[in-house]
C-alpha cells in the first residue's frame, strides 16, 4: 500500500520523510564533544547524516500516565542516550496532523533512565518490612521465592487473597502496559493460575465515573476541538495546561478552537491555575467541595428567569420536575422542587444561599447563570479536581445537570458537563485472558482489605461480584505503581498496615526506581525502561487527532534489569503455565502478531517495518469532532442512554434504593438528586476550629504523580511549594519562601511557602506526587501531600477524597 494515499501521510511529505528517518544528528553533537550543534533549530531534520554503527536516532516514547503520550527521538551514541528530541513530523497547522511535542518531563527521560535511584538487580528484604534494607539476589532466587510464596498463598487462602495493585507507571505501553492492572501481563499470568481479587474505579475518576454512571450511564464528553462551534466555555476545576501538557495535549486545541469561535472562557477553580493564567476571560475562585452549591445557585436563576431548556428536559430527562418524576419518588422529590425550596429541606437555593457556601459573590453567580443560559451552545466541562472530594459524586452529577438544564447534551459545540472526549486509533491489545474470580473491591479500599477483608460487604464497603470478601489480601503484585505508599492516602497509617508482615504476607514490587513503595517490598524486580525494549505506545489522542507511537529499543538493558515479559514468563514456567502464558512467542513476535491483527481491522495502517521507521502514525477522527450522546439526542428511542430508563436521570431511582439500603458512616449522604452536601473535613466542618485551612492537591508539571519526581533539573525548574494566600500567610507570620509545617492529626510535612494571590483565602494547595521523605521523627521533608490525606472513602464510589483535607500551617 502506498503511503501517499493515506491520511496519516499528511504528517510529512514523502520526499522529506525518508530524509528524517535516516538523519543522525545525535552523532554530530557528540563528535563535537557534547557541544550542541543545530538540534533545536527548525531545520534540524534536514541535516542529512546517515546513522552509523556508533550513532543512531531511535523513536521511543514516554508512556507515563499524564493523559498525553509523547514520541521521543533518542540520539544514541555508543549505546548511550546522549540527547532526547521529540516529534519532528507534521505541520503546526491547526486541524492538520500537528506535531506531538514532549513536555519538560519527557525531554528529561535520560535522567530517569540513568538515575542514581535506578534499581539494578533483584533484591530481597532483610530488615523489617518498610525499613528499606535489602540484599542482592539472583534472578533464579527471586523467581523461585515469588513462585513458591504464590503457590503457598493460593493453597492456604485461595486466589482471592492475591491482589494487583493500582499502578499507572507505564499505562501507555502494550506489552509493558501496567493499567488497568487487569490488562497487564501480571493479570495474564494470574489468570493462567486461577485468578486474583479485582478492583474497580481509579484514583483518577472514582467519583465522576460512579456519579455519572447514574446520570448518563457514561462519562463521555465532546472533543475539545468541538469548541470551534461553542459560544462559551465553562471549566470547573480543569487545568489542561498542566495536566495535558504535550503537543498532543489539549491546550493547543483549546486555544485554536477558541480562536475560531472567538469564545469566552470562564475558569472555576480555588487556584488561579496555569490554564487560566492570562488566557481566561474570567476566573471564579471557589471554596473547594462546593461546586454543587454553585450549580444549584445558577439553577435557581435559570429556573426563575425561564432560561432552562424545558423541551429538552421533558423529552430526554427524568426527574427535573413533576412531569418526569418516577412514580416511586416522593412528590416533592424532583430537582426543581429542591432548587426552589419546595423539597424536604425547605431551602431555596438562591444565589445568595450559594454565595455563602462557595465564597463567590451572588451577582457573579447570577451573571454566569445568565451567560450560560443565553450562550447556545455552551461547552460546560469539569476536570477531575472537583470530584476528587468527599462529596465528589454529587459535584460531578451537579455539573452534568447544569449541561442538561441548558440543553447542551448531544449537540455540536455543547458538552455533557464531563471531561473532554477525544479520538484514539483503535489497536489490538495484548490479550490478558479472563479472570475466573469476580470478587472486586474499590481500588481505594485495599488497605482495608488487608486489615479486615472478610468483614467487607457489598452494602457497607461497596464490594462487588460477591456479598462479602472471602479472604484478606495476602499477596500484592505492584508493577509500575507507587500507590502502595506515595500516592495512597494517609501514608503513616498505610505504612503501619504494610509493616506487619503477618497481615499481607508477600509484596512484590517491579519498578525502575527505589520508590517509597519499593521500600515496602519483600522482593524487588528491576524492570527495563521503555527505551530498553520494543513496544507500541497506544491510546494516544489529541482532541480529534489520534496517534500511535512505535517505541523501539534504543539502548541495551542496563545493569541486570529484565523486561516484564521475561519476568512473567519465568514465573509462569515455575507455576507450570509457561506455554499457555507465552503461546510460544517472544516479545517482538507478540508485537508483530498484535500489529498484524490491528492491520486486519484497519486497512489504513502501514506495514510493521514502515511504522517502525515512521515512529508515529497520526489520524484525524474520520467522524469529525466527537460529540457525546449525539445519537441519543437525534433519536432517544432508538439510541437510549445506558440507564434503567434509557434517559438522562437527574433523579435516579437506583440511587434512591442505594440510599435506603447501604450502611453509611455518620455524615455520609447518598441522594437520588444531585444536591449540595456538606462533608467531613469540608468548608463547614467544626474541625476547622482546630485545622482552619482546607488543603487541596493538584497535578503538577514537575512530575507525573511521583514519576520523574527524582529528576534534579525538573525539581529545580518547578519547585515543590505550598500555595497560600497572602492574608492567611500574614496571619501566621509567613513570608514567601519560608519553611513551613503543614499538619493535622494524621501527619506533618514541611516545605517552603509560595505566598500568592493565585490561591483563594482559607485554602492551601500542594502539588501531589512529591517523594515521601520522612526524617527520624517521621515528619515528611518533601511536601508529600499524602501524609495529610485520609483513608475514609467517599460515600458512593468508595473513592479517594484526596482534595478534601483540613490542616493548620505554621512557620518552622
Ligand atoms: N493526594 C493525592 N494523591 C493522589 C492524587 C491526587 O490528586 N492527590 N492523584 C491520584 C491519581 S489521579 C493517580 S492516577 C495516582 C497515580 O499513582 P501511580 O499510578 O502509583 O503513579 P506514579 O506515582 O507515577 O507511580 C508510577 C510508578 O511506576 C514506575 N514506572 C514508570 N515507568 C515504569 C516502567 O516502565 N516499568 C516499571 N516497572 N515501572 C515504571 C515509576 O517509577 C513509579 O514508581 O495517584 C493518586 N494519588
Ligand atoms: N503534569 C501532570 N499532568 C498530569 C498528571 C500529573 O501528575 N502531572 N496526572 C494525570 C492524571 S493520572 C490525572 S487523573 C489527571 C488529573 O487531572 P485533574 O484531576 O483534573 O487535576 P487536578 O490538578 O487534581 O485538578 C484540576 C483542578 O481542579 C482544582 N480543584 C480542586 N478542588 C476543586 C474544587 O472543589 N472545585 C473546583 N472547581 N476546582 C477544584 C485544582 O486546583 C486544579 O487546578 O492529570 C493527568 N495529568
Ligand atoms: S509526561 Fe506526558 S506530556 Fe510529558 S512527555 Fe511524557 S507523555 Fe508527554
Ligand atoms: Mo489519575
Q: Could you say which of 388, 405, 423 is where a domain stops?
A: 423
- 87 CB within 6 A, ligand 2: no
User: Among 603, 629, 656, where does a domain finish?
Assistant: 603
Share of the chain above pLDDT 70, in %: 93
Q: C-alpha grid cell for residue 337?
A: 422542587
Between CA 178 and CA 432 the distance in angstroms is 12
pLDDT at 168: 98
Q: How far is CA 90 from the centre of its chain?
A: 28
Going by pLDDT thresholds of 50, 70 and 90, the confidence category of residue 54 is confident
Find the 715 Cα to ligand 1 centroid distance in Å. 17
Q: What is the pLDDT of residue 53?
A: 66
Among the bound ligands, name the one nearest to the CA of residue 709.
1
Range in 34-38, 219-223, 313-317, 529-533 the model is least confident about: 34-38
Question: 111: buried, middle or exposed (CB in 10 Å: 19+, 13-18, 0-12)?
Answer: middle
Q: Tell me the CA–centroid distance for residue 707 and ligand 3, in Å.
A: 11
Instruction: Please indicate whether residue 482, judged by its CB atom, sits closer than 6 Å to ligand 2.
Output: no
How far apart (Å, rounded) are the C-alpha atoms in residues 458 and 363?
45
Ligand 4 centre distance from Cα of residue 564 (Å): 22
Q: Read out DSSP for 150-167?
A: HHHHHHHH-GGGEEE---
Ligand 2 close to Cβ of residue 799 (< 6 A): no
696 C-alpha vs ligand 2 centroid, how far in Å? 10
Instruction: Determine the atom of ligand 2 nearest the C-alpha atom of 236.
Output: 38
Residues 336 and 440 occupy one common structural domain? no
From the number of C-beta atoms within 10 Å of its C-beta (0-12, 13-18, 19+), residue 695 rates as buried
Classified as helix, coil or strand, 219 is coil
Q: What does the DSSP assignment read for 40-90? A: SSTTGGG---B--SSEEEEEEEE-SSSS--EEEEEEEETTEEEEEEE---S
Report how far ligand 2's centroid is from the alpha carbon of 697 (Å). 8
Q: Report pLDDT for 51.
A: 64
Average pLDDT over residues 514-539: 97
pLDDT confidence band for 251 (50 / 70 / 90): confident
Ligand 1 pocket, residue 239 CB under 6 Å: no
Q: How far apart are CA 78 and CA 80, in angstroms?
A: 6
> From the CA of 96, how far away is ligand 1's center (Å)?
33
The average pLDDT across 353-377 equals 98
Residue with CA closest to ligand 2 atom 11: 66
Question: What is the Å distance from ligand 1's center to 444 Cα?
Answer: 14
Angle between helices 564-574 and 139-157 (to 10 degrees): 60
Residue 13's pLDDT is 28
Contacts 24+ apart (CB under 8 A), 636-642: 636/315, 636/316, 641/216, 641/217, 641/218, 642/216, 642/217, 642/218
C-alpha to C-alpha distance for 576 and 565, rounded to whole angstroms: 16
| C-alpha cell, 519 | 521500600
Determine if ligand 1 sits within 6 Å of the CB of residue 801: no
User: Given this model, what pLDDT does residue 10 score?
Assistant: 29
- Write the pLDDT tens digit of every residue in 300-349: 999 999 999 999 999 999 999 999 999 999 999 999 999 999 999 999 99
Residue written as cell 503457598? Answer: 152
Q: Which of 649, 646, 796, 651 is nearest to 332 (CA)?
A: 651
Q: What is the largest CA-CA distance in the chain?
A: 80
647 CB under 6 A from ligand 1?
Answer: no
Express each pLDDT in 289-309 by its tens digit: 999 999 999 999 999 999 999
Residues 585 and 704 in one domain: no
Mean of per-residue pLDDT scores for the chain: 92
**Which of 68, 286, 384, 385 most suits a substitution to test ligand 2, by most atoms within 8 Å of the C-beta?**
385
Radius of gyration of the chain (CA): 26
Do 225 and 352 lie in one domain? The reply is yes
The CB density around residue 757, as the number of other CB atoms within 10 Å, is 11
Q: Ligand 2: which residue has its CA nearest to atom 29?
A: 237
Residue with cell 459535584: 395
pLDDT by residue (tens digit) across 777-810?
999 999 999 999 999 999 999 999 999 999 999 9
Choose one of 61, 70, 170, 249 to mutate for the ligand 3 pocket test, by most ligand atoms within 8 angstroms of C-beta: 70
**Domain at 498, CATH number:** 3.40.50.740
Nearest CA among 242, 289, 266, 294 for reference residue 696: 289
Test site for ligand 1: of 106, 168, 199, most ligand atoms within 8 A of the Cβ: 168
- Give yes or no for residue 205 CB within 6 A of ligand 1: no
Determine the Cα–Cα distance for residues 804 and 799; give it in Å rounded to an integer.
12
Residue 715, domain extent: 686-811
**Which pLDDT does position 94 carry in this prediction?**
81
262 in any annotated domain: yes
Dihedral (Cα; 3, 7, 12, 18), 10-degree rounding: -10
**696 in ligand 2 pocket by Cβ < 6 Å?**
yes
Distance 388 CA to ligand 1 centre (A): 16
Residues across the chain: 812
Q: How many helices (H) does the chain have, and how many strands (E)?
A: 25, 26
- The string of pLDDT tens digits covering residues 139-187 is 999 999 999 999 999 999 999 999 999 999 999 999 999 999 999 999 9
479 and 568 share one domain: yes
The total of other beta-carbon atoms located within 10 Å of residue 429's CB is 15
Tell me if 286 CB under 6 Å of ligand 2. Answer: yes
Answer yes or no: do 394 and 323 share one domain: yes
Ligand 1 atom nearest to CA at 529? 35
- Specify the DSSP class assigned to residue 794: P
Q: String of b and e for 454-476 (b: at least 16 CB within 10 Å)? A: eebeeeebbbeebeebebbbbbb
The closest residue, in CA terms, to atom 40 on ligand 1 is: 480
Q: Write 16-19 long-range contacts (CB < 8 A, 24+).
A: 16/45, 17/89, 17/614, 19/45, 19/46, 19/48
Q: What whole-number distance in Å separates Cα of residue 199 and Cα of residue 440?
A: 5
C-alpha cell at 284: 471564579
Residues 372 and 394 in one domain: yes
In a domain, 89, yes or no: no
The pLDDT tens digits of the residues spanning 428-452 come to 999 999 999 999 999 999 999 999 9
Whether 34 is covered by a domain: the verdict is no
The pLDDT tens digits for 720-774 are: 999 999 999 999 999 999 999 999 999 999 999 999 999 999 999 999 999 999 9
Domain final position from 578, 603, 628: 603
- Nearest-atom index, ligand 3, CA of 246: 3
Taking the CA of residue 244 as reference, the ligand 3 atom at the shortest distance is 3
Q: Is residue 8 part of a domain?
A: no
**Ligand 3 centre and the CA of 426: distance in Å?**
21
Q: How many domains does the chain have?
A: 3
Q: Break the chain down into helix, strand, coil percent, rounded to 5.
A: 35, 20, 50
Across the beta sheet with 55-62, what order do the strands follow?
Answer: 55-62, 70-77, 80-86
* Residues 405 and 284 grouped into a single domain: yes
Same domain, 399 and 447: no
Q: Does any domain span residue 656?
A: no
Taking Cα atoms as reference points, which of 713, 550, 530 lies closest to residue 104? Answer: 713
The string of pLDDT tens digits covering residues 580-614 is: 999 999 999 999 999 999 999 999 999 999 999 99
For the CA of 100, the nearest atom of ligand 3? 8
Question: Under DSSP, is residue 730 helix (H, G, I), strand (E, B) or coil?
Answer: helix
- Report the pLDDT value the prediction gives residue 50, as an integer from 0 to 100: 56
CATH of the domain at 264: 3.40.228.10
Q: How far is the CA of 587 from the centre of ligand 3 (A)?
A: 25
Choose one of 384, 694, 706 to mutate for the ligand 1 pocket test, by most ligand atoms within 8 angstroms of C-beta.
706
In a domain? residue 694: yes
Give the pLDDT of residue 39.
Answer: 28
Pocket of ligand 1 contains residue 515 by CB under 6 Å: yes
Q: CA nearest 805: which of 640, 692, 646, 653?
A: 692
238 lines ligand 2 (CB under 6 A): yes
How many CB atoms are closer than 10 A to CB 763?
Answer: 22
62, 511, 530: residue to mutate for ligand 1 pocket, most atoms within 8 A of CB: 511
DSSP secondary structure, 567-630, as one string: HHHHHHHHTT-HHHHHTT--HHHHHHHHHHHHHHH-TT---HHHHHHH-EEEEE-TTSS--TTH
Q: Which of 402, 66, 411 is nearest to 223 (CA)?
A: 411
The residues near 493 (Cβ < 8 Å, ≥ 6 apart) are 447, 746, 791
User: In this structure, which residue's CA is closest to atom 37 in ligand 2?
Assistant: 237
**Does the pLDDT value for residue 15 go beyond 80?**
no
One domain, residues 436 and 496: yes
Average pLDDT value for residue range 86-104: 88
Cis peptide before 780 (omega within 30 of 0): no
Residues with CB under 6 A from ligand 3: 62, 64, 66, 68-70, 102-103, 105-106, 245-246, 704
336 CB less than 6 Å from ligand 1?
A: no
Q: Is residue 76 part of a domain?
A: no
Which SS3 state, helix, strand or coil, does residue 763 take? strand
Parallel/antiparallel/unpaired status of strands 747-755 and 721-724: parallel
Instruction: Report how far ligand 1's centroid is from the alpha carbon of 481 (Å).
Output: 5
**Residue 712, domain CATH:** 2.40.40.20
Same-domain check for residues 259 and 402? yes
Q: Please state the separation of Cα 86 from the chain's center in Å.
A: 23
CA distance 218 to 208: 10
| 302 and 383 belong to one structural domain | yes
- Say if residues 79 and 114 touch (Cβ distance below 8 Å): no
Of all helices (H) and strands (E), which one includes residue 303? helix 291-304
Q: How far apart are CA 807 and CA 357, in angstroms?
A: 19
What proportion of the chain, given as a percentage, has pLDDT over 90? 88
Closest CA to 504 of 478, 529, 480: 478
Give a yes or no: residue 100 inside a domain: no
C-alpha count within 13 angstroms, C-beta hemisphere, residue 224: 28
Co-location of 416 and 435 in the same domain: no
∠ CA 243-248-758, nearest 5°, is 30
Position in ligand 2 atom list of the atom nearest CA 702? 1
Show the cell assigned to 742: 503543614
Q: How confident is the model at residue 21, as a pLDDT?
A: 24
**Rounded mean pLDDT, 207-226:** 96
Determine contact, residues 250/422, Cβ cutoff 8 Å: yes
Give CA–CA dist 786/299, Å, rounded.
35
Amino acid at each position: 500500500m502506498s503511503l501517499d494515499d493515506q491520511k496519516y501521510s499528511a504528517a510529512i511529505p514523502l520526499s522529506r520523510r525518508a530524509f528524517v528517518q535516516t538523519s543522525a544528528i545525535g552523532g554530530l553533537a557528540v563528535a563535537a564533544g557534547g557541544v550542541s550543534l543545530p538540534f533545536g533549530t527548525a531545520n534540524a531534520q534536514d541535516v542529512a547524516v546517515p546513522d552509523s554503527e556508533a550513532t543512531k536516532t531511535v523513536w521511543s516514547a514516554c508512556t507515563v500516565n499524564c493523559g498525553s503520550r509523547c514520541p521521543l527521538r533518542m540520539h544514541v551514541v555508543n549505546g548511550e542516550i546522549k540527547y532526547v528530541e521529540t516529534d519532528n513530523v507534521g505541520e503546526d497547522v491547526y486541524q492538520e496532523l500537528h506535531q506531538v511535542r514532549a513536555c519538560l518531563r519527557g525531554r528529561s527521560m535520560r535522567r530517569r533512565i540513568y538515575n542514581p535511584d535506578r534499581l539494578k538487580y533483584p533484591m530481597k528484604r532483610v530488615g523489617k518490612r518498610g525499613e528499606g534494607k535489602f540484599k542482592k539476589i539472583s534472578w533464579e532466587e527471586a523467581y523461585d521465592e515469588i513462585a513458591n510464596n504464590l503457590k503457598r498463598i493460593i493453597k492456604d487462602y485461595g486466589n482471592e487473597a492475591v491482589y494487583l495493585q493500582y499502578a499507572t507507571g507505564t499505562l501507555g505501553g502494550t506489552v509493558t502496559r501496567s493499567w488497568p492492572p487487569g490488562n497487564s501481563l501480571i493479570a495474564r499470568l494470574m489468570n493462567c493460575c486461577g485468578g486474583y481479587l479485582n478492583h474497580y474505579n481509579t484514583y483518577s475518576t472514582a467519583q465522576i465515573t460512579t456519579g455519572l454512571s447514574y446520570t448518563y450511564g457514561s462519562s463521555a464528553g465532546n472533543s475539545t476541538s468541538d469548541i470551534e462551534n461553542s459560544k462559551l466555555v465553562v471549566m470547573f476545576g480543569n487545568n489542561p495546561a498542566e495536566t495535558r501538557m504535550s503537543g498532543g495535549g489539549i491546550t493547543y486545541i483549546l486555544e485554536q478552537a477558541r480562536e475560531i469561535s472567538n469564545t469566552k472562557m470562564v475558569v472555576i477553580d480555588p487556584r488561579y491555575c496555569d490554564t487560566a493564567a492570562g488566557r481566561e476571560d474570567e476566573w471564579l475562585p471557589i471554596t473547594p467541595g462546593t461546586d454543587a452549591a454553585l450549580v444549584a445557585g445558577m439553577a435557581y436563576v435559570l429556573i426563575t428567569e425561564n432560561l432552562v431548556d424545558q423541551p429538552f428536559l421533558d423529552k430526554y430527562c427524568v426527574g427535573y420536575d413533576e412531569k418526569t418524576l418516577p412514580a416511586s419518588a416522593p412528590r416533592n422529590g424532583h430537582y426543581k422542587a429542591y432548587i426552589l425550596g419546595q423539597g424536604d429541606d425547605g431551602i431555596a437555593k438562591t444565589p445568595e444561599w450559594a454565595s455563602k457556601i462557595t465564597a463567590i459573590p451572588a451577582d457573579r453567580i447570577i451573571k454566569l447563570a445568565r451567560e450560560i443560559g443565553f450562550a447556545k451552545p455552551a461547552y460546560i466541562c469539569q476536570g477531575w479536581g472537583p470530584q476528587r472530594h468527599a462529596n465528589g459524586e454529587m459535584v460531578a452529577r451537579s455539573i452534568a445537570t447544569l449541561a442538561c438544564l441548558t440543553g447542551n447534551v448531544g449537540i455540536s459545540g455543547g458538552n455533557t458537563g464531563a471531561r473532554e472526549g477525544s479520538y484514539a486509533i483503535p489497536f489490538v491489545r495484548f490479550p490478558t485472558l479472563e479472570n475466573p474470580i469476580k470478587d472486586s473491591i474499590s481500588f481505594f479500599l485495599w488497605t482495608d482489605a488487608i486489615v479486615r477483608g472478610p468483614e467487607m460487604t457489598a452494602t457497607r464497603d461497596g464490594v462487588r461480584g460477591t456479598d462479602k470478601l472471602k479472604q484478606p489480601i495476602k499477596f500484592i503484585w505492584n508493577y509500575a505503581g507507587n500507590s502502595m505508599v506515595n500516592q495512597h492516602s494517609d501514608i503513616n497509617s498505610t505504612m503501619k498496615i504494610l509493616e506487619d508482615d503477618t497481615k499481607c504476607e508477600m509484596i512484590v514490587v517491579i519498578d525502575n526506581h527505589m520508590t517509597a513503595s519499593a521500600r515496602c517490598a519483600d522482593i524487588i524486580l528491576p524492570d527495563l525502561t521503555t527505551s530498553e525494549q520494543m513496544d507500541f505506545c497506544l491510546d494516544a489522542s489529541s482532541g480529534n487527532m489520534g496517534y500511535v507511537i512505535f517505541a523501539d529499543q534504543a539502548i541495551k538493558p542496563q545493569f541486570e534489569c529484565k523486561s516484564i515479559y521475561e519476568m512473567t514468563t519465568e514465573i509462569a514456567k515455575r507455576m507450570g503455565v509457561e506455554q499457555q502464558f507465552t503461546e510460544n512467542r517472544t516479545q517482538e513476535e507478540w508485537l508483530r502478531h498484535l500489529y498484524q491483527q490491528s492491520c486486519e481491522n484497519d486497512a489504513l495502517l502501514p506495514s510493521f517495518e514502515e511504522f517502525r521507521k515512521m515512529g508515529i502514525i497520526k489520524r484525524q477522527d474520520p467522524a469529525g469532532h466527537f460529540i457525546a450522546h449525539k445519537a441519543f439526542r437525534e433519536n432517544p428511542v432508538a439510541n437510549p442512554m445506558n440507564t434503567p430508563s434509557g434517559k438522562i436521570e437527574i433523579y435516579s431511582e437506583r440511587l434512591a434504593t442505594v440510599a435506603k439500603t447501604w450502611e453509611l458512616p455518620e455524615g455520609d449522604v447518598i441522594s437520588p438528586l444531585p444536591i449540595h452536601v456538606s462533608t467531613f473535613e469540608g468548608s463547614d466542618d467544626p474541625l476547622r476550629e482546630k485545622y482552619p485551612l482546607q488543603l487541596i492537591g493538584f497535578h503538577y508539571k514537575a512530575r507525573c504523580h511521583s514519576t520523574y519526581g527524582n529528576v534534579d533539573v525538573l525539581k529545580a525548574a518547578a519547585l515543590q511549594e505550598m500555595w497560600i494566600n497572602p492574608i492567611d500567610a500574614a496571619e501566621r507570620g509567613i513570608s514567601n519562601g519560608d519553611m513551613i509545617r503543614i499538619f493535622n492529626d494524621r501527619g506533618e510535612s514541611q516545605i517552603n511557602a509560595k505566598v500568592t494571590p493565585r490561591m483563594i483565602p482559607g485554602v492551601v494547595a500542594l502539588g501531589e506526587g512529591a517523594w515521601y521523605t520522612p526524617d527520624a521523627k517521621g515528619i515528611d521533608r518533601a511536601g508529600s501531600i499524602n501524609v495529610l490525606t485520609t483513608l475514609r472513602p467517599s460515600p458512593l464510589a468508595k473513592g479517594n477524597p484526596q482534595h478534601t483535607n483540613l490542616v493548620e500551617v505554621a512557620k518552622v
